[in-house]
Structure 1
């Protein structure tokens, strides 16, 4: 492995261990076993290296989540059963990959100060909305493009909210069963009364 790859791996390690804001150039060079000067030579700046590592982690995470959520055992599930089963998997991911999910939220705050991070997150968010719409919208009636975006946006908002609650207070955060019960209740209050 060359210095460029070692630096990327070292930065990824530091992001998991310390987060974006607390990782220094010295932390990365120590983790990578390289000199501080190697960062500037290969990546221009510590910020550029951290962004490259963050983007690679996000891509790896997205691939892993897609595989976990696209399992064949959901094919015959009804809408509520599918909703709950997917949320079980998402919440299990919160537990198994806490540092990664926390890093995702930290990246959101960094995006306010870094155009490159914001642009990368915006592209990922657009793709996530479409993926979530496809995952959750099992209606036999095809959705319009606007409806697809709306469904994906709803689920993305729910995911971000549940994640935030889970990271702050996992004991009080909603479970998949809680979310399903809430959805069932909301559906009964929205649905028109039977004749």
Structure 2
């Protein structure tokens, strides 16, 4: 690995261990085995390095979940979606520091047009990837799932004991679909 990759690996480690707000440049330098000047040379600022590390870490986590889903016709759509929810909810507990950093980055994006643009582009890719991974190319499916993920993530971080299960989510989506049916009584 080169210095840039070492910095990213060190920043990802710090995000997982300390979170976004508590990670210092000294932490990153120690974890990466590089030096302070390398951060400025390769990324410009600590925030730009951490933003890149957070985006990559989040993308890697979601990608692991999506690629772990059975391929082809091994599962029907409802089973595939339930498997996705189960694995995602599990990752919120297992990778809590990473997901907390993700929420911190969302708050940071309110004050950083650059980060807002990067997260916005990542969200578009995520909607497309979610739709495809769940067996449909309708981007509206990815949009709804992504919206549910945001709320589910906050719930899991704040009150894990009361986080909805995959079955709760499936039943809720079915009930919501019934409510949105114009022929529903």
Question: 1:106 Cα deviation (Å)?
Answer: 1.4
- Structure 1 residues 1-195: aligned runs within 5 Å: 1-69=1-69, 71-72=70-71, 75-136=73-134, 148-191=138-181, 192=183
Q: Which runs of 4+ in 1 moved over 6 A?
A: none
Matched residue SS, 2:161:
coil
Structure 1 stretches of 5 or more lacking a match? none
Question: 1:186 Cα deviation (Å)?
Answer: 3.3
Question: 1:26 Cα deviation (Å)?
Answer: 1.5
TM-score by length of 1: 0.79
Aligned residues: 184
Q: 1:176 to 1:38 in 2, by over 3 A?
A: same
Question: 1:187 Cα deviation (Å)?
Answer: 4.0
8 Å CA contact 2:65, 2:84 repeated in 1: no
For residues 151-173 of structure 1, the C-alpha deviation after alignment (integer angstroms, 9 at most, x for no partner) is 22111111111111111111111
8 Å CA contact 2:16, 2:95 repeated in 1: no
**Larger-Rg structure:** 1
Output the aligned Cα RMSD. Answer: 2.6
8 Å CA contact 1:111, 1:117 repeated in 2: yes
Question: 1:30 Cα deviation (Å)?
Answer: 2.0
8 Å CA contact 2:20, 2:50 repeated in 1: yes
In the alignment, the residues of structure 2 paired with residue 4 and residue 134 of structure 1 have an alpha-carbon distance, to the nearest angstrom, of 32
In the alignment, the residues of structure 1 paired with residue 155 and residue 45 of structure 2 have an alpha-carbon distance, to the nearest angstrom, of 34
8 Å CA contact 2:58, 2:99 repeated in 1: no
Q: 1:85 to 1:46 in 2, by over 3 A?
A: closer
8 Å CA contact 1:137, 1:151 repeated in 2: no
In the alignment, the residues of structure 2 paired with residue 56 and residue 80 of structure 1 have an alpha-carbon distance, to the nearest angstrom, of 29
TM-score by length of 2: 0.83
